[in-house]
Structure 1
């Protein structure tokens, strides 16, 4: 394409970071079968995200410069100047192609439309025809099905469990053991018309897909919907649409959280169940591995009432109800580097108490960039490209430093979850976090890197077994010229990626050398092996995209080609103690460093560790045609159209990505808030009631302050 034609085709809002722009939704459009729109209207869902200039890629910056030069030339030509200015003023911004697909409305169907899963109708028509239009219609006032306690835990008292494990002691919120850890409630049903996810699968992960959660059953046990006169009430939810919610409170009762010390409760729980986690177990017993669930927060963070509900849910469901399998930690970034938190216990405690709610004081650990500078001292030489323009010890470029330090300080944890404060989950935390780990352990290593580099679209690829075969066939058909280890790494990946010149790294850990050749393996190596890295977006090769931080690599010889590497957008995930130890050693001993979304994946890639992209359910607000979706997300025609570059606009309408506008909007609607003139109390009362969602991982949720009336 000639350069002038390319510049003309660049839409300004596509050039800039889309997370800064309003998320545009088309509530209705008359779309023909072949996808050509005849009319469309728009309203805006703001993500509330902060400006993230660092997301602009090198290619995008060059294109902006070229565009600027072209427009300067046009400015110099008087007649052309007026014509182009008028043209830009008269023509509205052109929609992205995906915005022309039909909108899926079944998410907003309420609890009065609940039916058994056998009667559920999938709303998606995959752009072959218009989705069903019978939505948000109140049938009866009360939910036709009652909520039930939802417990995804093993039967800790069963003969089968006790045959292989220690018994599990019940944990309580209080020391006298009078206040039990609460249950959550779900409806064993789905709204009559409801979409299905376009990426991933509940069934594949072993997560139930025949239940849904409304806000009262999910958050009510943690204080949502309490009348303000109830001790410990947070003051949210008591004025929303609530038909049938009394059934939850009749079963769950009301818990006064005003004096709960979650850290003390968690510590008591672990102490009661410590035999489960001991390294040496009696013959025939299995040790339960310990996991730290680390919440990355900072001084000055505002804990709103909805955030408090989610945090209580995490500690209760992951730690107390599981008999101590998880420990929840707040890793608090002290942004003021002049505060010597390591030198004065009183100052440390004062800083903590001023920045963390009392409930969570005893779950919290403070750290600062100044502390990391001492722990990983400079210099870190030979950076290929610092596109962020910031210090290597700044949290933006080294969010993994405190996580590595935390793991070194807490060797009792086999795994550490890195969790951001703008993530929400509408399902049960224990079910999700255990099932994704179990799924990854079942995966063979053969083809895992290649499968993890792609989005699995069940409607297009079939089940995961078929997807595995498809990827294997594709790998085998790769042209030998693409197998350039110096540039991209070996294809397929099989063991440590060591055959490139710019190494200077430590030896790989034991157990990472393949027992056979790739061709001889029968999908057996790695089965039953816990994954060292779990991500919730594909683990891609950044050299094949225009992702801006692809070259933020430090400590390698710049006279040689840059090492092959891998990355996964959004730093949410699970890292093993082994991986964190490798990262720690490579950092302090070898002075190696990469951008946070690249370093864990690249170290796993270099050292032959097991890494997996979890195919969790990701929903979209539009009825995509999945063949086209596969092309856009898995086979971009040009580097700059990758979803991890300029093509990231295609994820605006999803429930999980760094700039996903739909995620926050859907979460707020589920909470009962109004969004773009839809939702809120009156909408729900006159329609089919409050929403009921399956377990959905939402990211990012930048605000929870929408109007409810």
Structure 2
């Protein structure tokens, strides 16, 4: 979704990020002074005599004098008022520009400690702990705190990078239950190996810890960090274009960066066809995905691996920077080629011009691809248009509660999910579909992140799952995940709310039947966190799945197709449309759309369909960082326990999200990402500062959104 969703001129603005309209703004009285009118007078547009007199007024000298004196008095009063207001604001210290409450918390800077401060994980002290213990009056608390120190005569990192391999395909345990993974290559002759990614086996001392989520809980390696050379060097970042690279590291601090070439070979990407590489990899490994029950002797059938469509949502006119190309190469290589074909990366390309005959002309179809997709990714794009969606999901879509966006129901703004639903019908061979946006970035390894998130979600029991998924997990406050689970259960027990347990009952005039397997096997209180363990999640989100009716989120009432005489149906929402969705969920969404004419805003629709039909929904508690050191209780109260709907961080309170690394309007995400790439941001960082200081940045696996631009300031 775009970063700016709202029209400030039509909204009631309480803060810089409030989006409620004034009640009755569209039905108020007409202007009492209709000086301009579109009304036409008489059969031929003639105006009455009084109108002509208004256009050519005759004024006496006395009237002109009176008017002149009035104008002078009004201008004088206005000037005096402006001066007094200016002096008043100056005396108050520009009160109108006061900061948000969270901006008064101390800034965190451990994010920017470089590779020269690397220490083994066992010696690492987070920046928050350093601050806490170094300021503690208790002498025993001052034993471990350390601020980064580097040897002045050595610019090299204190340790060497190592290949990072999250694949466990060659282990005895894996091969006992799964088919062998055949090695894939980038070329048809199988001469070009798929490159590895490199990480340092340590963390910069006092690297800032995440405020939300947990590396350890999700299953990510929290003992290593990635710099830009180890992460993107193998994809062409650090070698010349005449060798097939992108030659982007000329002004970068690079001490020790060339060590990866002791193991890695440089790939000439000028002649690589990623579509061909993906197809060959799948064909070589398709036995891993074919569902069968054959056995070899007394051995049971090998487990089959689910397939994933990894869908990049792009559009005509999108500009692919060199950094974007590095990111996409990393996605394809790490998710598809190195995994033996578990993922296929696709471009779902929105053709904005509805007049283009993309469905009747192969030549036009291919030209659109060639004009809008870099050549190395040709063969991976599927085109769609809003006009196509109008034919696929035809009108009418009746009974809308409130269309705040004032947009057509088929516009991508209100129905981004239509194209994904259609894609899942056109390409039904996948088990899961990842809906990914072009302004997402990941500093870590794509397969490790996505596989870990999926496996973690699969382990989650259904009991209390919707309730846990509606909250942010704060490890420093909540303790272990088990403790967090018990805390949420206790809060639920002491509240007036009923737990979500299977499809909810609500008043309606027609609903599709839910899958029979979503009916709970027993009562809620009889379950010992057993139901759902080992079950794949139908939707995985990366922000909490909340009840929009309890917030003033601006699109909460964009609900269509339900009886307006009845209360609005219960619903759920996760901000940012990024998610993993199962084929089962997308099939239900598709049928709800074309059979029932049900529809909701894109960020609300998939979680709501999952909710209505009792599917398994999980918010993945991935690490999210903040640039200010929030007190833990303030963080919990603000994000998890707002005292009233208008305080919700998913509504008027979303300014609280500005200083983090993952939200639709997060400001810190772009700054930190570009600093990691080597840019100078807000007069800090950049090649000169890195060279004189602790070196280039090295960070643990972190998911970023949004990153709208990667224009680096290299001074």
TM-score (normalizing by structure 1): 0.87
Who is 2:357 aligned against? Answer: 340
**Is the CA contact (8 Å cut-off) linking 1:105 and 1:135 kept in structure 2?**
no
Q: CA deviation at 1:101?
A: 1.1
Q: CA deviation at 1:237?
A: 1.6
With over 3 angstroms needed to count, the CA separation of the structure-2 counterparts of 1:548 and 1:342, relative to structure 1, is: same
Q: CA deviation at 1:86?
A: 4.2
Q: CA deviation at 1:62?
A: 5.6
Match of 1:251 among 216, 241, 263: 263
Pairing 1:164–2:197 present: no
Match of 2:683 among 677, 684, 691: 677
**Distance in 2, Cα, partners of 1:452 & 1:62:** 26
**Per-residue displacement from partner, 1:509-555 (whole Å, max 9, x unpaired)?**
12100000111111100000000000000000000100000000000
Who is 2:464 aligned against? Answer: 447
Pairing 1:220–2:233 present: yes
Q: CA deviation at 1:263?
A: 0.4
**Aligned residue pairs: how many?**
644
> Counterparts in 2 of 1:285-324, with a 5 A limit?
285-324=302-341
Who is 2:537 aligned against? Answer: 531
With over 3 angstroms needed to count, the CA separation of the structure-2 counterparts of 1:58 and 1:492, relative to structure 1, is: farther
Match of 2:290 among 272, 278, 282: 278
Who is 2:521 aligned against? Answer: 515
Match of 1:577 among 577, 583, 606: 583
**Distance in 2, Cα, partners of 1:601 & 1:688:** 44
**Is the CA contact (8 Å cut-off) linking 2:457 and 2:536 kept in structure 1?**
yes
Q: Which moved more, 1:212-221 or 1:112-121?
A: 112-121
Q: CA RMSD in A?
A: 2.4
**Is the CA contact (8 Å cut-off) linking 1:110 and 1:136 kept in structure 2?**
no
Who is 2:122 aligned against? Answer: 118
**Distance in 2, Cα, partners of 1:177 & 1:525:** 46
Match of 2:499 among 492, 497, 513: 492
Q: CA deviation at 1:158?
A: 2.9
Q: CA deviation at 1:559?
A: 1.3
**Is the CA contact (8 Å cut-off) linking 2:589 and 2:609 kept in structure 1?**
yes
**Distance in 1, Cα, partners of 2:510 & 2:616:** 21
Q: Secondary structure at the match of 2:243?
A: coil
Q: Secondary structure at the match of 1:112?
A: helix
Who is 2:106 aligned against? Answer: 102
Q: CA deviation at 1:362?
A: 1.0
**Is the CA contact (8 Å cut-off) linking 1:126 and 1:624 kept in structure 2?**
no
Give ranges in structure 1 of 5+ residues lacking alignment: 1-18, 21-48, 70-74, 484-490
Pairing 1:615–2:621 present: yes
Who is 1:384 aligned against? Answer: 401
Who is 1:150 aligned against? Answer: 164
**Distance in 2, Cα, partners of 1:411 & 1:300:** 28
**Is the CA contact (8 Å cut-off) linking 2:147 and 2:205 kept in structure 1?**
no
Q: CA deviation at 1:236?
A: 1.1
Give ranges in structure 2 of 5+ residues lacking alignment: 29-74, 136-144, 295-299
> Counterparts in 2 of 1:625-644, with a 5 A limit?
625-644=631-650
Pairing 1:400–2:404 present: no
With over 3 angstroms needed to count, the CA separation of the structure-2 counterparts of 1:58 and 1:523, relative to structure 1, is: farther
**Distance in 2, Cα, partners of 1:639 & 1:440:** 29
With over 3 angstroms needed to count, the CA separation of the structure-2 counterparts of 1:227 and 1:662, relative to structure 1, is: same
Pairing 1:429–2:446 present: yes
**Distance in 2, Cα, partners of 1:266 & 1:503:** 46
**Distance in 1, Cα, partners of 2:703 & 2:351:** 28
Q: Secondary structure at the match of 2:163?
A: strand
Pairing 1:362–2:368 present: no
**Distance in 2, Cα, partners of 1:640 & 1:86:** 33
**Per-residue displacement from partner, 1:554-591 (whole Å, max 9, x unpaired)?**
00011111111000000111000000000000000000
**Distance in 2, Cα, partners of 1:85 & 1:519:** 64
**Distance in 2, Cα, partners of 1:63 & 1:176:** 62
Who is 2:556 aligned against? Answer: 550
**Per-residue displacement from partner, 1:459-482 (whole Å, max 9, x unpaired)?**
111111000000001111112xxx
Q: CA deviation at 1:51?
A: 6.5
Q: CA deviation at 1:231?
A: 2.5
Who is 2:214 aligned against? Answer: 201
Who is 1:53 aligned against? Answer: 7
With over 3 angstroms needed to count, the CA separation of the structure-2 counterparts of 1:647 and 1:167, relative to structure 1, is: same
**Is the CA contact (8 Å cut-off) linking 2:164 and 2:198 kept in structure 1?**
yes
**Per-residue displacement from partner, 1:129-184 (whole Å, max 9, x unpaired)?**
77879458664300110000000011x23332221111111000000000010000
Larger Rg: 2
**Is the CA contact (8 Å cut-off) linking 1:147 and 1:248 kept in structure 2?**
yes
With over 3 angstroms needed to count, the CA separation of the structure-2 counterparts of 1:394 and 1:321, relative to structure 1, is: same
**Is the CA contact (8 Å cut-off) linking 2:236 and 2:246 kept in structure 1?**
yes
With over 3 angstroms needed to count, the CA separation of the structure-2 counterparts of 1:102 and 1:208, relative to structure 1, is: same
Q: CA deviation at 1:58?
A: 9.5
With over 3 angstroms needed to count, the CA separation of the structure-2 counterparts of 1:240 and 1:452, relative to structure 1, is: same
**Distance in 2, Cα, partners of 1:627 & 1:284:** 51
Who is 2:278 aligned against? Answer: 266
**Is the CA contact (8 Å cut-off) linking 2:146 and 2:205 kept in structure 1?**
no
Pairing 1:87–2:101 present: no
Q: Which moved more, 1:52-61 or 1:550-559?
A: 52-61
Pairing 1:410–2:427 present: yes
Q: CA deviation at 1:64?
A: 6.9
Pairing 1:351–2:305 present: no
With over 3 angstroms needed to count, the CA separation of the structure-2 counterparts of 1:620 and 1:133, relative to structure 1, is: farther
Q: CA deviation at 1:83?
A: 4.8
**Is the CA contact (8 Å cut-off) linking 2:19 and 2:652 kept in structure 1?**
no
Who is 2:593 aligned against? Answer: 587
Q: Secondary structure at the match of 1:529?
A: coil
**Distance in 1, Cα, partners of 2:150 & 2:320:** 35
**Is the CA contact (8 Å cut-off) linking 1:165 and 1:276 kept in structure 2?**
yes
With over 3 angstroms needed to count, the CA separation of the structure-2 counterparts of 1:437 and 1:564, relative to structure 1, is: same
Who is 1:14 aligned against? Answer: none
Q: CA deviation at 1:363?
A: 1.0
**Distance in 2, Cα, partners of 1:443 & 1:81:** 61
